[in-house]
Amino acid sequence: MDQEWATVLTAGIGLVGALGGSLLGARAAIKGARDAAVLAADAARQQLADQAEMEHRHWLRQERQKSYREVLDAYAVLTPVIWEVHESLHGGRMLEASELADLSVRFDELISPCMRLNLIGPARVTASGEDLRRALRDVFAIFQRFEASGPPEEELAPLLAELRAAVEIIRSRYLEFMAASQQVLLSGAD
């Protein structure tokens, strides 16, 4: 009977071992499946975040292109007007109040897009747009001093020199804006 008990005992131990091994294997399989599911979910979440970031960058680049183009287009329209008034003033003709009002509207057509740059940046383009806006305001302020009655004769030559310098500053600020906006658009940097 000892041999029968030994066989039964061995079979029982084998059964317990088999069940224990099955349970450990099942537990490992469940843990592996859970870990794989977590990794897959993390990967999907990261892919979604990356895609959203890419779409946002694309949208921002398009908005920047649009805003930068608005500044460039408005500058292209305003520049001939500035030079025309500049030459007219150098020719001795003063400005009427209605001309100043029209100039104010035209200047605002460029100043508004410059101010919108604050919304889309980046900082270097916003700063160069702000510099351009200030230079435009300075020229307009000088234009206002040439209203119908005009400045006294002794102030005319210095004022014309100030105007010429201010117009050159506008050109310089415009070129700085162009360089900054091109750098941002070509590099895709923030």
In a domain, 11, yes or no: no
Amino acid at residue number 40? A
How many other CB atoms are there within 10 angstroms of residue 49's CB atom? 10
Tokens describing residue 53:
């970031």
Q: Is 122 helix (H, G, I), strand (E, B) or coil?
A: coil
| 60, part of any domain | yes
Within a domain: residue 40? no
**180 domain-assigned:** yes
Burial degree of 138 (CB within 10 A; 0-12, 13-18, 19+): middle
- Helices of type H across 91-122: 97-120
In a domain, residue 182? The reply is yes
CATH code at position 98 = 1.20.1420
Report the candidate in 96, 161, 169 with the shortest Cα–Cα distance to residue 137: 169
Please give the pLDDT value at position 35: 82
Tokens 């975040």 identify what position? Answer: 49
Q: What is the pLDDT of residue 8?
A: 73
Could you give the number of structural domains in the chain?
1
The range of the structural domain enclosing residue 77 comes to 56-187
pLDDT tens for the chain, 190 residues: list them: 677 777 777 777 777 777 777 777 778 778 888 888 888 888 888 898 889 999 988 898 899 999 999 999 988 988 888 888 888 887 877 878 888 888 888 888 888 888 888 888 899 999 999 999 899 999 989 888 887 666 677 777 888 899 899 999 999 999 999 999 999 988 866 6
* 69 located within any domain: yes
Residue 97 lies in a domain: yes
Token pair, residue 127, equals 């700063």
| Separation CA 179–CA 6 (nearest Å) | 92
Q: Which of 160, 118, 112 is nearest to 139 (CA)?
A: 160
The answer to whether residue 122 sits within a structural domain is: yes
